[in-house]
Structure 1
Amino acid sequence: MNYDVRQMLKDFTSGLTIMGRTHGEEVNAFYNLLGKNYAPGALDVKTKELISVGIAIYNRCEYCIVYHVYKALEAGANRDEIVEAAMVSVAFGGGPSMAYTVTLLNESVQEFEKDFQ
């Protein structure tokens, strides 16, 4: 299966903007949660994004996979780190997590890694 991961990323981010026009309080609360939890602290942003990749794979959230692969690359992660984070989730999620790792995650890394080289 081929995914249009750029379109998926655009759909997710623009969807938040559109939803924010009518449900600003809720969307802003989501952004505040993200801002607080993804700020550098005991863990750096790259580590937090790699954790997010693993969680997204485990939960099989397609938009989360695309978004957090992009954000992990943006934070300085490389292909091997992203795949390794995904493989940790495969240990918990089995076949379904592996299926998303070898398809959507792989396509996302291939598409987005050139943006950060």
Structure 2
Amino acid sequence: MLNNWVDQLNNTRAAAAPFGEANPKMLTAFRGLNAAQGSNGALDAKTRELIAIAVAVTTRCDGCIASHASAARQAGATEAEVSDALGTAIALNAGAAYVYSLRAMEAFGQMGK
């Protein structure tokens, strides 16, 4: 097992309390941002959570992975759907590395001129 994700989720939630006491406006704004997400109703909760877990992987956020894995499960996502979403995240990261490699090669080429 790489991580205890239930503990990760609980620890992340517990860590929010001292942060919220020290910076209540920021925590309120963050919660408001999360509450507003999906408010236009164009995507169902399961689709939003599949996107969110894929983004959590691309941003390497363990707290986000735990939170959105839990929310995806609650929204009815299957293991196959989560796996498919994560496959998209993997492909995108490889694509991003490729595109940024092209940028780096271009930058390197321009430095020699």
Q: Which residue of 1 aligns with 2:36?
A: 36
What's the secondary structure of 2:43's corresponding residue? coil
Residue in 1 aligned with 2:64? 64
**Which whole-Å CA distance do the structure 2 matches of 1:39 and 1:16 have between them?**
24
Q: 1:72 to 1:3 in 2, by over 3 A?
A: same
What do you get for the CA RMSD once the two structures are aligned?
1.5
**Quick check: 1:39–1:45 contact (8 Å CA) kept in 2?**
no
Larger radius of gyration: 2
How many positions carry a matched residue from both structures? 94
- Larger RCO: 1 or 2 (CA < 8 Å, sep 6+): 1
Runs of 4+ in 1 over 6 A off after TM superposition: none
Identity between Structure 1 and Structure 2 (%): 30
Question: What is the rounded CA distance, in whole Å, between the counterparts of 1:72 and 1:38 in structure 2?
Answer: 14
Gaps of 5+ in 2: 95-113
- Deviation digits for residues 10-56 of structure 1 (CA, Å, limit 9, x no counterpart): 11111122211221110010000000014461011111111001111
Mapped pair 1:16 → 2:16: yes
Q: Quick one: distance in 1 between partners of 2:67 and 2:37?
A: 16
TM superposition score normalised by structure 1: 0.73
Q: Which sections of structure 1, spanning at least 5 residues, go unmatched?
A: 95-117
